[in-house]
């Protein structure tokens, strides 16, 4: 059962535009929501993450918006650049402990292309 | 400061064979998690090791097993390989089970 749904599957944006990727989750035990960027042949790299006690977090050109009641969160990339062209994954994790461990549940990914 | 190191980077195995993949965590990290990423999909959690014990396991058959060593490095073993096991296998390390994860570049396994 997929617990994190991501959309769109692919996105094409012009240089300087805003890229928006959306995710929805079902498990209310999730309390950590990271976004990862992955280039071909590389592993995912953490971009930005948020916990549900805040509604928005901004780091440079990247912003996460979080709506706890709707169980949705989104990534906004401002002033998108050709170098941002990559696959983006949202993920979620619950409050695991040292004994029980924890895991990331990933969305299916969004392939972003930023045209020059 | 070396990040997460995985070996080998690529390998090809025959159906029915066994394979061992290796991971050295980032310096200062003590927890290792393994993920399987099929082409065009998001990574799927296999299991997590902390203090040399499997702490949590995803929905993978017993053919998938692992180990963590005292130096925090880890191995992923897959027995009786199936064509469907072809994927990118990612290792992620963290400090503690809930720390921020750092992913390696993965091992691309092809089963023929």
With an 8 Å Cβ cutoff, are A98 and B55 in contact? yes
Least confident residue range of A36-45, A59-68, B26-35, B94-103 = B94-103
**pLDDT-derived band of residue B96, with 50, 70 and 90 as boundaries?**
confident
Q: What is the pLDDT of residues B58-76, one digit of tens each?
A: 999 999 999 999 999 999 9
Nearest to B46 by CA among A47, A106, A90: A106
- pLDDT tier at A25, thresholds 50, 70, 90: very high
Residue A93: closest C-alpha in chain B = B98
CB-nearest partner of A103 from B4, B58, B104? B58
Count CB pairs under 8 A between chains A and B. Answer: 72
* Nearest CA among A53, A52, A91, A59 for reference residue A77: A59
Asked if A89 and B44 count as a contact pair (C-beta separation under 8 A), the reply is: no
CB within 8 Å: A98 and B41: no
CA closest to A91 among chain B residues: B42
Q: Which residue of A has its CA nearest to B100?
A: A46
Say if the Cβ atoms of A99 and B100 lie within 8 Å: no
Report the candidate in B48, B50, B38 with the shortest Cα–Cα distance to residue B86. B38
Taking residues B2-23, what's their average pLDDT?
96
Q: Is the pLDDT of residue B9 over 80?
A: yes
Banded model confidence at residue A2, pLDDT cuts 50, 70, 90: low
Is A25 touching B (CB cutoff 8 A)? no
Query: Could you tell me what percent of chain B has a pLDDT over 70?
Result: 99
Query: Distance between CA atoms of A51 and A94, rounded to whole angstroms?
Result: 10
In sign, the C-alpha dihedral spanning A48, B38, B77, B10 is: negative
CB contact under 8 A, B98 and A99: no
Closest Cα in chain A, distance from residue B80 (Å):
26
pLDDT at B100: 81
**Residue A6: pLDDT band with limits 50, 70, 90:** very high
Work out the pLDDT band at A1, boundaries 50, 70, 90: very low
pLDDT recorded at residue A99: 72
pLDDT-based confidence at residue B1 (cuts at 50, 70, 90): low
Put simply, the answer to whether A96 touches B56 (Cβ < 8 Å) is yes
Q: Is there a contact between A104 and B97 if contact means CB atoms under 8 Å apart?
A: no
**pLDDT at residue B97 greater than cutoff 90:** no
């Amino acid at each position: 059962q997929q617990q994190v749904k991501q959309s769109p599957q692919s996105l094409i944006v012009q240089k300087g535009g805003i890229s928006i990727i959306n995710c929805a989750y079902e498990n209310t035990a999730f309390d950590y929501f990271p976004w990862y960027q992955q280039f071909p042949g590389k592993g995912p790299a953490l971009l930005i993450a948020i916990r549900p006690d805040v509604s928005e977090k901004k780091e440079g050109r990247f912003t996460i918006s979080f709506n706890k009641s709707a169980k949705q969160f989104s990534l906004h990339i401002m002033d998108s650049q050709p170098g941002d062209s990559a696959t983006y994954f949202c993920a979620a994790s619950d409050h695991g402990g040292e004994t029980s461990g924890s895991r990331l549940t990933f969305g299916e990914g969004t392939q972003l292309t930023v045209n020059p | 400061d070396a990040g997460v190191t995985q070996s080998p980077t690529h390998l090809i195995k025959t159906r029915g064979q066994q394979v061992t993949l290796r991971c050295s965590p980032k310096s200062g990290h003590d927890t290792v998690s393994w993920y399987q990423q099929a082409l065009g999909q998001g990574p799927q959690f296999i299991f997590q090791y902390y203090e040399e014990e499997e702490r949590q396991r995803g929905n993978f058959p017993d053919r998938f097993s692992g180990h963590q060593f005292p130096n925090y490095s880890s191995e992923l073993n897959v027995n009786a390989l199936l064509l469907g096991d072809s994927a990118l296998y990612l290792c992620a390390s963290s400090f503690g089970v809930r720390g921020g994860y750092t992913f390696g570049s993965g091992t691309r396994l092809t089963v023929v």
